[in-house]
Amino acid sequence: MKLFGCGLMLLILQLLMFAPISPPPPPSSRLTADDLHHMLVLSRLLSLSEGRRTLTAETWQRVKRMEKERIERMAHLPPRQQQQQQQHHHQQQQQQAAHNVNNGRG
């Protein structure tokens, strides 16, 4: 599955065009570049796990719900534990990416 380059930009534009119009989120909840990257990686892995080579709008919506739930769960953790959880999550992503590269998927 190729989710980089022009295809990625087209996908992001399509998702933004069909997203419901709503007021801008408060500054504390705005999506950062790292957040978007995390969600794109998650959407790619989820698509692959469902046997798809392309990202669907349904999968993207599922990723957004999953991310929202993750953030809500982390809000109840003490700050240090949040940092450790984020580091662990980042390490898992790196391990998954290395595994995909080693198996010819990345």
- Give, for all 106 residues of the chain, the pLDDT tens digit: 444 455 666 666 666 655 555 555 555 567 788 888 888 889 999 999 989 888 888 999 999 999 888 888 877 777 766 567 777 788 888 888 888 877 776 5
pLDDT at 51: 92
Tokens representing 45 are: 């892995």
pLDDT at 62: 92
pLDDT at 101: 76
Q: Where are the domains of the chain?
A: 31-102
d(CA 100, CA 87): 20
Q: Which among 95, 99, 89 has a CA at the least distance from the CA of 34?
A: 89
Residue 51 Rama label (left phi>0; alpha psi -120 to 50; beta) = left
pLDDT at 3: 45
pLDDT at 75: 78
Contact 69, 53 (CB under 8 A): no
pTM above 0.75, yes or no: no
